[in-house]
Amino acid sequence: MQDTTKLDKLRKDIVFSADLAGEKLIFHSTWGIFSPKEIDVGTQLLVNLLEIEPGDSCLDLGCGYGPIGLYMARRAYQGETLLVDKDFMAVDYANANAKRNNLTNAKAILSNAFDHIESQIEFDVIASNIPAKVGKEMLSLILNDAYSRLKPGGKLYVVTINGLRQYMKRNLTDVFGDYKKLKQGKTYTVALARKLTD
């Protein structure tokens, strides 16, 4: 059994700051939340490619402790950013991190993808670092629900492991009628799909 000093240290928040595409943010996280000690490579790749306007309404789908959503909130300072996650600890940390970074235009809620997002809310930008093990059924729900919840001309940005690249290309093209690979790294690919207007 480990001594209590080590265990007490593990129970304390992990605290770090990060520069996300020029935006400096402070994060607290904990063990059990994805990438608790640093911003993961996929998120960094995604954030560097996001195009956010000051008045945009944004959604971070599967927010964890909030790096993508809080970056969007900082950029969309005249808009609102909603962060969602199915893990209550992630939601608690995302809300605390929004407060810590003085982002009053960001709010995190508990939701399994779009399940608990008010039906009338539409977004200009949806961004997600989609977990590799989410399953094709859930991916299908995410892509179709994202399409229906975007405003005309709205954008869905996703980062996935390279093994899902062709799946995402096929399915984004099928659902959105649009697909663009923005960048492919050693492990991750960032893709963009727009909700086309007539």
89 C-beta neighbours (distance < 10 Å), count? 15
Supply the pLDDT for residue 158: 98
Supply the pLDDT for residue 131: 85
Order the strands of the 188-194 sheet from edge to edge.
106-110, 81-85, 58-61, 123-129, 150-161, 188-194, 180-184
Residue environment code for 21-58, b if the CB has 16+ CB neighbours within 10 A, otherwise e: eebebebbbbeebbebeebbebbbbbbeebebeeebbb
Supply the pLDDT for residue 1: 67
**Domain coordinates in residue numbering, the chain:** 40-194
pLDDT digits (tens, 9 = 90+) for 135-190: 889 999 999 999 999 999 999 999 999 999 999 999 999 999 999 999 999 999 99
Q: Is the pLDDT of residue 134 over 90?
A: no
Please provide the CATH number assigned to the domain covering 40-194: 3.40.50.150
Place of tokens 């969602």: 84
Q: Residue 145 has which token pair?
A: 């629900």
Q: Residue 63 has which token pair?
A: 């927010």
Q: How confident is the model at residue 8 (pLDDT cuts 50, 70, 90)?
A: confident
Q: Is the pLDDT of residue 128 over 90?
A: yes
Q: How confident is the model at residue 7 (pLDDT cuts 50, 70, 90)?
A: confident
pLDDT digits (tens, 9 = 90+) for 33-88: 999 999 999 999 999 999 999 999 999 999 999 999 999 999 999 999 999 999 99
